[in-house]
Chains A and B, each alone.
Chain A
Amino acid sequence: MEFIDYYKVLDLDKGASQSDIKKAYRKLARKYHPDINPNNKEAEKKFKEINEAHMVLSNPENRKKYDQYGKDWQHAEEFEKAKKSRQYSYGPQSSGSSQGYSGQDFSDFFESMFGGSQNFGGRGRVKFRGQDLNASLQLHIRDVYTSHKRTLTINNKKIRLNIPAGIENGQTIKISGHGGPGQQGGPNGDLYISFTIINDTPFKRDGNNLYTTVNLDLYKAVLGGDITVDSFEGQVKLKVKPETQNGTKVKLKGKGFPVYKKEGQFGDLYITYNIVVPTKLSPKEKELFSELATLKKHA
Chain B
Amino acid sequence: MGNEHYIAITDFCISHNISSKFILELHDYGLIELISMEKTRYIPLQQLPRAEKILRLYSDLEINLEGIAVINHLLDRIEKMQDEIIFLKNKLHLYEE
Contact = CB atoms under 8 A, between A and B. Distances in A.
A176 B83 CA distance: 19
Which of B17, B52, B89, B91 is packed against the most chain A CB atoms within 10 Å?
Answer: B52
Interface in B8-35: 17
A36 B48 CA distance: 17
A26 B60 CA distance: 9
A185 B17 CA distance: 10
A36 B52 contact: no
Contact of A204 (B57, B62, B75, B97): B97
Contact of A26 (B59, B61, B89): B61
A206 B92 CA distance: 9
B73 interface: no
B48 A29 contact: no
B63 interface: yes
Given A29-B60, A204-B97, A187 B90 contact: no
Interface residues of B, number: 23
Contact of B60 (A33, A168, A205): A33
B81 interface: no
A122 interface: no
A187 B49 CA distance: 10
Contact of B56 (A35, A168, A169, A185): A35
Among A168, A169, A187, max chain B CB count under 10 A is at: A187
Contacts of A169: 86, 90
Contacts of B62: 26
A206 B94 contact: yes
B61 to A, nearest CB: 5
A178 B33 CA distance: 23
Nearest to A34: B56
A207 interface: yes
A30 interface: yes
B53 interface: yes
Interface in B38-97: 48-49, 52-53, 56-57, 59-63, 71, 75, 79, 83, 86-87, 89-91, 94, 97
A171 B86 contact: yes
Interface in A174-231: 174, 176-177, 185, 187, 190, 204-207, 211
B90 A168 contact: yes
Contacts of A242: none
Interface of B: 17, 48-49, 52-53, 56-57, 59-63, 71, 75, 79, 83, 86-87, 89-91, 94, 97
Given A168-B90, A177-B49, 6 more contacts: A36-B71, A168-B86, A169-B86, A170-B90, A190-B49, A207-B90
Interface of A: 26, 29-30, 33, 35-36, 38, 125, 127, 129, 168-171, 174, 176-177, 185, 187, 190, 204-207, 211
